[in-house]
Amino acid sequence: MANHKSAAKRARQAIKKNARNTKAENAVKTFEKKVVKAIEAKSKELPTALREYVAKAMSAVSKGVYKKETISRKISRLSARAHAALNK
């Protein structure tokens, strides 16, 4: 346990921040799984799922949960897979 008042406050803030970041990470991962499932099924909901994923992922970037480069790479790879699945 913290010995100083400020250290105790930082510990409380870290717990809140961790919970907020975990929630955002889980949301992004869930939408990513939906996109992958739609790609494998060649579903008509694929464009919608991809759009929702991009929105959630970029929201996580703006909150500082992920780096922009990481999410841009993931979006690029999923988009390429989605376009390939739709054009087959």
Domain boundaries, the chain: 41-88
Enter the tokens of residue 74: 């993931």
The dihedral region occupied by 9, where left means phi > 0, alpha psi between -120 and 50, and beta the remainder, is alpha
Enter the tokens of residue 9: 């406050």
Q: What's the confidence (pLDDT) of residue 88?
A: 77
Q: What's the confidence (pLDDT) of residue 2?
A: 84
Enter the tokens of residue 76: 């690029």
Q: What's the confidence (pLDDT) of residue 87?
A: 87
pLDDT, tens digit, for every residue of 3-28?
Answer: 999 999 999 999 999 999 999 999 99
Q: For a pLDDT cut of 90, what percent of the chain falls above it?
A: 91
